[in-house]
Amino acid sequence: MDSTTHDLSRVLIELGLIVVSLAILARIASRWGFSAIPLYLLAGLAFGKGGLAPLNLSAGFTHIGAEIGVLLLLFMLGLEYTGHELVTNLRSAFPAAIVDFALNFTPGVVAGLLLKWKLLAAVLLGGVTYVSSSGVIAKVLAELRRLNNPETPAVLSILVIEDLAMAVYLPLVAVLLAGGGPGRMALSISVALTTVLLVLALAVRYGGPLSHVVAHRSDEIVLLTIFGVVLLVAGVAQRLQVSAAIGAFLVGIAVSGPMAEQTHRLLAPLQIDPATLPSALPSAVLLSVVTAVTKVLTGFWAARRTGIDRRGRLRAGMALVARGEFSIVIAGLGTGLEPQLGPLSAAYVLFLAVFGPILARAAK
């Protein structure tokens, strides 16, 4: 057996063990009636870089697979709404989005300044604490069968506005980190916003005709077409410094009618080094408690504005607690600027990504 074949067999065995392990964790979570996400995160921590058994051979494939998984999850979330529903919800949720930013961006900035970091590093930490995890929250809402709950549109509207805010925030901090001037900032933000608005306009105005063009009786053709379009749009969005997740979400919005039902049926089925976490854990836990409270207040207030009862308001607030992919991306931008930003953000995200779904589950 040559070395290439031997290496391939090891990669396949490693991937097989990963998938089987995740299946076992999912069965355990299902049996005990809670979300599998905390178990997935802890498994990633145990077998990632610096963990008990690093997955050196399949690391690249696993990373890409995880990114694609997030894109498909956001695409599935987009299938739940039409373009007109999205626009209506965004308009009604804008005041709540302002409150969300004030309550959740501020604690991160204040914490960074108290730690005597540079102002830009504190602003980056503000971004980490501000943005909730669309991927984790979408998965939790689906697992708990709350996608059709009356408070869910308010939750999703806040998530979408947060992700759209990242279209401005990420290019801005990237230019600041690179030492760019006002002209470069304006150009980066303009490109990002133009891309988002263009895709959103296409989704709202031409979603029906586009769905009709793509529709086909063959499940295989539909699956390949949709999968390719999601990756293509997400890749272009990411290249233009817009969230790839937003691109995938808007593709989901554009797909409508019977096409959405068929796609739903076909698709339904920052590495963290553990050694860096202990020293950052106290600050991360304190910051987590503060921003968990502010997220609950955000969701509670947003749901209240739409006439949801008290129980639904609590569900909305607790659903927003989890942080994830965007927070890690933001932290990754500033690791060269402030060495403590990475470990603190990683511990913070891990803590809230694990306990966020638990809180969402507790909100009956």
Please give the model's pTM, rounded to 2 decimal places. 0.70
276: domain CATH number is 1.20.1530.20
Determine, yes or no, domain membership for 42.
no
Number of structural domains (the chain) is 1
Q: Report whether 287 contacts 111 (CB < 8 A).
A: yes
Determine, yes or no, domain membership for 344.
yes
pLDDT per position in the chain (364 positions), as tens? 455 555 777 777 777 777 788 788 878 877 776 666 667 767 776 666 655 566 665 566 666 666 666 666 666 656 656 666 667 777 788 899 899 999 999 999 999 999 999 999 999 999 999 988 877 787 778 777 887 888 888 888 888 788 778 767 877 777 777 776 777 777 777 776 776 677 667 666 766 666 666 666 666 666 677 777 777 777 776 666 555 666 666 666 666 554 555 555 555 544 556 677 788 888 989 999 999 999 999 999 999 988 898 889 999 998 888 887 677 767 776 777 788 888 888 888 878 877 887 788 777 6
Instruction: Using alpha carbons, select from 321, 256, 308 the residue that is nearest to residue 92.
Output: 308
Determine, yes or no, domain membership for 60.
no
Determine, yes or no, domain membership for 278.
yes
Q: How far apart are CA 236 and CA 36, in angstroms?
A: 31
Determine, yes or no, domain membership for 218.
yes
Quickly list DSSP for 46-67.
HHSTTSSS--TTTHHHHHHHHH
Determine, yes or no, domain membership for 207.
yes
Q: Report whether 303 contacts 313 (CB < 8 A).
A: yes
Determine, yes or no, domain membership for 109.
yes
Amino acid at 354: V
